[in-house]
Amino acid sequence: MEAAVTEIDGTIDSLTRNLAISLYRDSSGYVGQVSAEPTEAATTAITLKSTGDVTNFEIGHVVLIYSAKSGGTQRIYDTSVSSGTISAVNRSSGVITVNTAYTSDGTIAANDYIFFSGDRGSSISGLEGWIPATAPTSGESFFGVDRSVDVNRLAGCRHEGSSQPIEEALIDGASLAAREGGKVDHCFMSYAKYAELEKSLGSKVQYIDLRMNAEIGFRGIIVNGPRGPINVIPDQNCPEDVAYMLQLNVWKLYSLGKAVKVIDTDGNTMLRQASADGVEVRYGSYSNLGCRGPGFNCRVAL
């Protein structure tokens, strides 16, 4: 039972983390991008386009690579080998090593998208889906809605702030949302950008301690926005080059039962394996992110 608890706890942690990553992505399920074609070797070393995405990967993950988020071409490592298991992770340099040889027949290229096996096209629609980097165009359907008829109200606001001081970019983003009637009260960003904001504010920095319950708490920075203070929270799951400025009360994670739960619809928590002296336990998540007012929120490119 002790061994079973260890395995089950690991499964719950892995699925919870996968869900947390997905909250910042779109429904494609991608977890990173390739920086450049790997060199030919007995194992495949893949350098990530964004070093911060390295926290999404663990040893043992089976990964697939495609040329696009949806559709596109599945890339291969060698002749017909199209998948591999991660055998090493260099978290300093943002390199993952796959235990599959890469040869001259390999087709992996820069900007390709990396997926966990089984996840492609079956993830939740996270913040990137609700507030995309590029405004939706006519004909694009999101849960059956053509958002091009009123882009800001239906697909959120976008602000290009990569050339601005980070605090100015956040204030401009909050102002865009305020113009649409929103009251941004939380901002989520990567730890790297959070540190950049903290250094930029210097002696002007104001901290706030947020507590979700007796066991979970967060320390953030307060930025004064056009409609009141904004709590800036760092999150390892947030992509490095973006901040999401949200009116939190219009968002909700909907799920059938607990967001991460044991699959026991037949009444059995554990199942005996038919061909081995062992048992199996299945966990899953039937959930999706919903928003009642996309236009009250803003995606800020940093």
Mean pLDDT of 277-296: 93
Interatomic CA distance for residues 124 and 15, integer angstroms: 13
pLDDT above 70 (res 79): yes
The per-residue pLDDT for 215 is: 64
How many Cα atoms occupy the beta-carbon half-sphere of 130 within 13 Å? 27
The predicted model gives 54-77 an average pLDDT of: 96
* Cα torsion 32, 35, 36, 42: sign: negative
Q: What are the backbone dihedrals phi and psi of residue 246, each rounded to the nearest 5 degrees, phi first?
A: -125, 145
Span 240-249, mean pLDDT? 96
pLDDT digit string (tens) for 154-182?
999 999 999 999 999 999 999 999 999 99
Q: Over 90: is that where the pLDDT of 281 sits? A: no
The residues facing 291 across adjacent strands are: 251
pLDDT tens sequence across 222-237: 999 999 999 999 999 9
H or E element: which one contains 13? helix 2-22
From-to residues of CATH 2.40.30 in the chain: 28-116
Give residue 256's pLDDT band: very low, low, confident or very high (50, 70, 90): very high
Q: Left (φ > 0), alpha (ψ -120 to 50) or beta: where does 233 sit?
A: beta
pLDDT-derived band at 3 (thresholds 50, 70, 90) equals confident
Whether residue 192 is predicted with pLDDT greater than 90 in this model: the reply is: yes
Please name the fold of domain 28-116: Elongation Factor Tu (Ef-tu); domain 3 (2.40.30)
- What is the rounded distance in angstroms from the CA atom of residue 115 to the CA atom of residue 28? 9
Closest CA to 51 of 39, 33, 26: 33
Of 23-37, 193-207, 252-266, highest mean pLDDT: 23-37
Tell me how many degrees the CA angle 183-189-193 measures, rounded to the nearest 5.
Answer: 125
108 or 215, which is more confident? 108
Q: Is the pTM of this model over 0.85?
A: yes
Can you tell me the mean pLDDT for 260-265?
A: 90
Spatial CB neighbours of 15, under 8 Å, sequence gap ≥ 6: 260, 283, 284, 285
| pLDDT greater than 90 at residue 10 | no
* DSSP of 45-69: EEEBSSGGGGGG--TT-EEEEESSS
pLDDT of 118-129, one tens digit each? Answer: 999 999 999 999
Residue 214 has pLDDT above 70, yes or no: no
